[in-house]
Amino acid sequence: MYLHGTSRVNEHGHLEIGGVDTTELTSKFGTPLYVFDEQLMRETMRAYKSAWDATGLRYEVAYASKAFCTLAMCRIVAEEGLALDVVSGGELHTALKANFPSERIHFHGNNKTPDEIEQALNAGIGAFVVDNFHELALLGALAVEKGVVADILLRLSPGVEVHTHEYISTGQEDSKFGFDLQSGAAQQAIQLSLQTKGVRLVGLHSHIGSQIFETEGFKHAIDIVGNLFAQAVKEWGAKDLSVLNVGGGFGIRYTEGDTPLQVQQYIEAIAEGVKATFDSLGLAHPEVVIEPGRSIVGNAGTTLYTVGSSKNIPGVRKYVSVNGGMSDNPRPALYQAVYEAMLANRATEEPTEVVSIAGKACESGDMLIWDAKLPEVQAGDILAVSCTGAYNYSMASNYNRIARPAVVFVQNGVADVVVKRESFDDLVSLDVVPARLMDGVLSQS
Ligand SMILES: *Cc1c(COP(=O)(O)O)cnc(C)c1O
């Protein structure tokens, strides 16, 4: 397992993160446990900002909170001076509860409900990223009703798609997100928003994919959206248009095969693309917004499990089961995501066997890792799976009524719980038993 950030093997032969021995973490907080390297998250946020500072462009770095959204995380993002993307009323509520500056919140999503739009208008968020005509009309009407004007960006689907290592241009854009350029919807949406009361068009947005390892796709999208930007300013009188949001999707290293660029390389390429496109169009440089999610939290997260049963099928494979699985990390089951692992309590021992790590849920598909090279694994060992910071806790479920793990942030030798472990009583706390079913054991309790 590759050691990211402050992760290291300490003098006891244990995995240590943020200056805290992971075996101490597991005895204190139990397993499964999500551990976040706070210093690594902060360093990555700072790396994005300093990379932008070097470009001379105006910019905003917005953390895509869907990757991992809790009160403490929102506090860190606020402290580091980033903006925040939310995609639901729940994420917005979390940000507001964390006292995140509302003017730095952007609201995304392809089906914002009237309630969510009202919640965001009441909070006075910085901008809505409008996804479709229905939302444009709804937002305009609700804003007029409240006597406010909402700043909006339009989400465009520029016909650039990224498939991890490569990008492709697609003529026909098949996506549930955004206004499509090919069909003319994007052009129409710009003109319509300029006439819609209650909204002010300040920017154009595109997001071309996730886990991107190259920069050509971004440049291509900037060129396409930049040309439309120019048309909007020059021909349609979009006088307030000043923001170009190029989305997120910056790739991270999960395993050996992943070869992400440095933060600085992504930003330099995007800045070059923006300058080249806008210079050639004779337009002032826009404020550029990026929206990294995975790349801020992904490598910073490690999940610690306790090993339980194993099953050896001679000549076939050996299964080793841990006390979590798809309920805390659905990504392998959802999209064949690949992870690396190590034994946190025997971190200096050489790998001697190849085993497959199974979760405890009642699904054959609940496999965390196929063919992991590990020392001979025993019941009671602590298995650490790295790079679980993004889309693990945020996608966790209670399938099989498995309680969700606690989350701790570690830094400088200190571990702080930022999400408590769910209890079995938490699991039934929202259940209601109608009076007609109340008899026997339940009525006595
Ligand atoms: C999901 C998403 C992001 C973040 O993507 P990552 O791959 O986590 O960086 C940014 N912007 C938009 C619009 C998204 O939907």
- Quick one: average pLDDT of 370-383? 98
Tokens representing 406? 């606690």
- State the DSSP string of 201-260: EEEEE----SSB--SHHHHHHHHHHHHHHHHHHHTS--TT--EEE----B---SSTT--P
Which CATH number does the domain housing residue 413 bear? 2.40.37.10
- Report the domain count for the chain: 2
Atom number of ligand 1 nearest to Cα 391: 8
For residues 404 and 284, membership in a common domain is answered with no
- Quick one: average pLDDT of 173-180? 86
CA 214 to chain CA centroid, Å, is 19
pLDDT of residue 169: 66
For residues 156 and 255, membership in a common domain is answered with yes
For ligand 1, say whether the CB of 210 is within 6 Å of any of its atoms. yes
Domain boundary among 238, 273, 297: 297
Q: Whose CA is closest to 6, among 19, 21, 22?
A: 19
Average pLDDT across the chain, whole number: 96
Does pLDDT of 357 surpass 80?
yes
For residues 312 and 398, membership in a common domain is answered with yes
For ligand 1, say whether the CB of 249 is within 6 Å of any of its atoms. yes
Q: Which domain holds residue 346?
A: 8-37+299-419
pLDDT of residue 439: 79
pLDDT of residue 441: 62
- Quick one: average pLDDT of 202-225? 96
Does pLDDT of 161 surpass 90?
no
For residues 232 and 364, membership in a common domain is answered with no
pLDDT band per the 50, 70, 90 thresholds, residue 317: very high
Does pLDDT of 52 surpass 60?
yes
Pocket test for ligand 1, best of 41, 65, 207 (most atoms within 8 A of CB): 207
| CA separation for the pair 74, 63 (Å, rounded) | 9
- Quick one: average pLDDT of 178-189? 95
pLDDT of residue 410: 98
For ligand 1, say whether the CB of 291 is within 6 Å of any of its atoms. yes
202 lies in some domain? yes
Q: Cα(418) to centroid of ligand 1, in Å? A: 23
Residue list, annotated binding site for substrate:
294, 331, 335, 363, 391
Which CATH number does the domain housing residue 70 bear? 3.20.20.10
For residues 263 and 253, membership in a common domain is answered with yes
For residues 113 and 156, membership in a common domain is answered with yes
pLDDT of residue 22: 98
Q: Cα(211) to centroid of ligand 1, in Å? A: 9
Which position has the higher pLDDT, 171 or 209?
209
- Quick one: average pLDDT of 164-181? 75
Task: Look at ligand 1, atom 7, and give the residue with the nearest C-alpha.
Answer: 249
Which position has the higher pLDDT, 174 or 386?
386
Does pLDDT of 166 surpass 90?
no
Predicted TM-score (pTM) of the model is: 0.96
